[in-house]
Structure 1
Amino acid sequence: MRRLLAACLTCLATALPAQTLVEVDVELVLAVDVSRSMTPAELEIQRQGYAAALTSEAVLGAVRGGLLGRIAITYVEWAGSGTQRVIVPWTVLEDPEDAEWIAAQILTQSGGGMRRTSISGALDFGAQAIDGNEFQGLRRVIDVSGDGPNNQGRAVDETRDSVLAQGITINGLPLMTSDGLGARWGIPDLDLYYEACVIGGPGAFLIPVTRWEDFGTAVRRKLVMEISGLPARVIPAQMRQRPEYNCLVGEEIWQRNMHIFSEP
């Protein structure tokens, strides 16, 4: 009888799907710019800011307040179109121990800066990461931070539209400090660029950072909003028509400045 029962259980197990998705409140991709336009000190501020925010009571409270009380998160550093570096693979964030482990990975596993700026590459990578993970979220979000416009890869607005078509919301954290190494490649109204060309989807918003000393507060506020699904009070992209903007401005700036790489 036991052998028969074991055989039946074996048959049942083989008939079940090979993969059962874990339900979470949010599938969240943190896509963090590490292009060479940032100084090593600024890269460290980013890492410290995310680590502190993820372990804060405000963020953990937002996680606990969800319907399921857990989220899935991955932390990815990006630069050029083919340059993405997974620092934290998909991980469940449910309690302080999870948060401490994620923060430790961010602080110890992150690398140095890399060339070029491909927001479109980061968005494509994030969408593929969401599509291929083992989670089923009530919401799916890519949060992209950066200090300049797209200058490599697919057009960013076209990429945004394809990502939105997959039911993924894109939020933004434009870094407008104007004191990095790449002022030559930047634009003064990066927040407007992000609003017109990058973010979108239900509840999409952006939080501009104009001073590095405000970075930690901005990240914590952003994460609480993304995890809790609170109504956006910053710049809710869905509330008004997208402003007119040249979404190829970054590519045009790159073309104008390419000569510096051929100078002796």
Structure 2
Amino acid sequence: MPNTILKSVALSVGLAFGSLTAASAATVDTVLSLVIDVSGSIDGGEYDLQMKGYEDAFRDSSIQNAITDTDGGNRNGSIAVNLIQFGTSASERLGFFVIDSAQKATDFADAIAGVTRHNSTRTGIGEGIQLASSTITDWLKDNSASRAVIDVSGDGTNNAGIAPSTARDAALAADVDAINAIAIESASLQDYFDNNVVGGTNSFSLFASDFDDFDSAIKRKLRAEITGTNPIPLPAGAWLLLSGIGGLAALRRRKKA
């Protein structure tokens, strides 16, 4: 998997809210693809709660502050994000949009509120990952980002299209740094996600006990993805191993630069 201190990004801003068009090149901290399960197992009420969770997250002041935080000049204070829904097939419902202010985060939340559901009965997690990876690759051409992340949420295992593990491995071999997941309602599904979906640098999975709990879980997940941290506590001894690995990774990045 390539290191992505600076990746090339092509701005294809075709959001459903307004007639936004690609402007000048942008440099962002994270390019993020939201990949959302809308298969038949998710009823109308659950779908509304799921989408409202994403909408509320981008209206949340702590998320907005995480996006725009420049960390004393060590960060750009911006992200680029799109939104994909998957069932039997996958569909990009909102194209990439650069968020570099609280107002633009609110604008993106407004756009989420206006998304229509991609009607599809089965669960093609791999289809969602594959489409997310290709949109990121298309975007990573002329502009720059420090990290590329795919954010998957769902309530069931894959039963359509490309296998999630195959799509995951291909994405990580291309331009994606990490694929994270949130399992809804089933603890065993989190194990499935860990084995078949999650992968890459600093990747993780979370569990939401139901769709009501999804709101707080997705905020925690997005905050971690935006800041490039892992929200899962590690055993004390693991920090020694990670510090050594981190030093080697930093040396590799410097050499590559």
Q: 1:124 to 1:234 in 2, by over 3 A?
A: farther
Displacement over 6 Å in runs of 4+: none
Kindly provide the CA deviation profile for residues 196-223 of structure 1, in whole angstroms up to 9, marking residues without a partner as x. 1110000101111112221110011111
Q: Which residue number corresponds to residue 173 of structure 1?
A: 182
Q: Which residue number corresponds to residue 34 of structure 2?
A: 30
C-alpha separation in 2, matches of 1:118 and 1:160? 13
Which is higher, the Rg of structure 1 or of structure 2? 1
1:173 aligned counterpart, secondary structure: strand
Q: Which residue number corresponds to residue 207 of structure 2?
A: 208
2:39 aligned counterpart, secondary structure: coil
Aligned counterpart in structure 1 of residue 156 of structure 2, from 138, 148, 160: 148
Q: 1:141 to 1:50 in 2, by over 3 A?
A: same
Q: CA RMSD in A?
A: 2.0
Q: Which residue number corresponds to residue 49 of structure 2?
A: 45
1:1-264 to 2 correspondences below 5 Å: 21-66=25-70, 67-80=75-88, 83-111=89-117, 113-133=119-139, 135-168=143-176, 169-176=178-185, 189-233=188-232
For residue 156 of structure 1, report the CA deviation from its aligned partner. Answer: 1.7
Structure 2: which amino acid aligns with 1:93?
Answer: I
C-alpha separation in 2, matches of 1:147 and 1:230? 24
Q: 1:234 to 1:44 in 2, by over 3 A?
A: farther
Kindly provide the CA deviation profile for residues 53-74 of structure 1, in whole angstroms up to 9, marking residues without a partner as x. 1110111111122400000000
**Structure 2: runs of 5 or more not aligned:** 1-22, 239-257
C-alpha separation in 1, matches of 2:165 and 2:143? 27
TM-score (norm: length of structure 2): 0.75
Structure 1: which amino acid aligns with 2:227?
Answer: S
C-alpha separation in 1, matches of 2:212 and 2:24? 43
Q: 1:159 to 1:85 in 2, by over 3 A?
A: closer
Structure 1: which amino acid aligns with 2:172?
Answer: L
For residue 136 of structure 1, report the CA deviation from its aligned partner. Answer: 2.1
C-alpha separation in 1, matches of 2:106 and 2:84? 17
1:109 aligned counterpart, secondary structure: coil
Assess if the C-alpha contact under 8 Å between 1:167 and 1:201 holds in 2: no
Kindly provide the CA deviation profile for residues 133-183 of structure 1, in whole angstroms up to 9, marking residues without a partner as x. 154210000001111111111222122111111241100011126xxxxxx
**Structure 1: runs of 5 or more not aligned:** 1-18, 178-187, 240-264
Assess if the C-alpha contact under 8 Å between 1:206 and 1:235 holds in 2: no
Sequence identity of aligned pairs in percent? 29
TM-score (norm: length of structure 1): 0.73
Tell me how many residue pairs correspond in the alignment.
207
For residue 75 of structure 1, report the CA deviation from its aligned partner. Answer: 1.0
Assess if the C-alpha contact under 8 Å between 1:72 and 1:91 holds in 2: yes
